[in-house]
Amino acid sequence: GKSVLVAGLCRMLARRGVRVAPFKAQNMSNNSVVTLDGGEIGRAQALQARACGLEPSVRFNPVLLKPGSDRTSQLVVRGKATTTVGARDYMQHRQWLRAVVAEDLESLRSEFDVVICEGAGSPAEINLRATDLANMGLAEAARIPVVVVGDIDRGGVLAHLFGTVAVLSPSDQALIAGFVINKFRGDVALLEPGLEQLRSLTGRPTLGVIPFADDLWLDAEDSLGVTGNAPVGRPGPPVGSAWLTVAAVRLPRISNSTDVEALACEPGVAVSWVTDPSRIRDADLVVIPGSKSTVSDLEWLRSTGLADEIVARAGRGQAVLGICGGYQMLGNSIVDDVESGSGTTAGLGLLDLDVEFAPDKVLAQMTGTADGISVSGYEIHHG
């Protein structure tokens, strides 16, 4: 819950007239947005910028890793794709990236009254501490007090908080200012004895306990928050009596999963993530979303039987919507020597088009009108 907590703090300070900005040194996410300065950052940082009353900027998220497989990611620095790195290769980039992060943070600190820095993952990943640039490494370099956020909904939060402090080095422990318990349900009075014992054990206070907000629906930081066979959002009742059902395919390398949420915002539209053919047969609409690994996810569609069912749906005249990579899959062929290096792959053949990837990445914001209504959006693609 770090991303939402940072957004809330940003909003609170902005409402009080404080000049505040968000900062996440390094993010790993395929949910990104195009900024006005022509780059891309994680959608969570774009959300936090809006909470501050600011336009998204590459300074708020100088390093973005966009996973293309379990072992490789596209490295985006200050909004621009630079190279593809593996987990071990990335360690070699950390030193110069550290300088990028330090420069952008210093720039923000000189311009704003407060900069709220969000960590990445857990500060207790001591196996990565030597090259860390987003958690305790950043805190140490910039002398930033650290608040450790614990998600009590997952269970074992007191042990997690105690253990996080315990495994850190004495110098890192000195930077821990306190804890926040997030997503709490029930009577806080029952938790308070545990918080007092945590203070006694660690010497640090719990600064707040935040209740679980069932009606809170904000952008997920990354696609790990998207689970198969689960509803999207909380649909409002239909205007009439009929519901529209939408089955959105949960691709393994789904990108910008939040695109699908626009459908779930409509009254009477029930959207669910699906991973098997039986869930799409009776849906009013099937959506194939974007992907960071288009060819690989297309092969997954075929291996699961989803591809055959999608083609059969189209043959019956039932609606299929492809977004970005999902749209590319609907064509005759995909020529990809950039993302996967797989050459030419046959598409699903539902649209008479051929897609060829190019090395240069296109990032753009667009505005226009549709039926007299102003609309805006962005595009992110290779070539």
- Name residue, tokens 């308070």: 192
Which helix (H) or strand (E) segment holds residue 40: the answer is strand 40-42
Query: 373 forms bridges with which residues in the sheet?
Result: 370
Instruction: Check residue 280 and report its DSSP letter.
Output: T
Q: Which two tokens stand for residue 35?
A: 């900024």
Cα–Cα distance measured from residue 339 to residue 322, given in angstroms and rounded to the nearest whole number: 19
Which residue segments constitute the domains of the chain, with CATH numbers given?
2-211 (3.40.50.300), 226-382 (3.40.50.880)
Which of 76, 67, 23 lies closest to 45, judged by CA? Answer: 23
User: What angle do the packed helices 294-304 and 306-315 form, to 10 degrees?
Assistant: 80
Q: Determine if the pTM surpasses 0.75.
A: yes
Q: What is the pLDDT along the chain (383 residues), one digit of tens a residue?
A: 899 999 999 999 999 999 999 999 999 988 899 998 889 999 999 999 999 999 999 999 999 999 887 788 899 999 999 988 887 777 788 889 999 999 999 999 999 999 999 999 899 999 989 889 999 999 999 999 999 999 999 899 999 999 999 999 999 999 999 999 999 999 999 999 999 999 999 999 999 999 998 878 776 666 556 776 788 888 889 989 999 999 999 999 998 888 898 899 999 999 999 999 999 988 999 999 999 899 999 999 999 999 999 999 999 999 999 999 999 999 999 999 988 888 999 999 999 999 999 988 889 888 889 889 998 888 888 87
Tokens 């545990």, residue located: 194
CA–CA distance, 192 with 178 (Å, rounded to integer)? 15
Query: Do the Cβ atoms of 301 and 292 come closer than 8 Å?
Result: no
* 132 within 8 A of 168, measured Cβ to Cβ: no
Token duo for residue 6: 């940072």
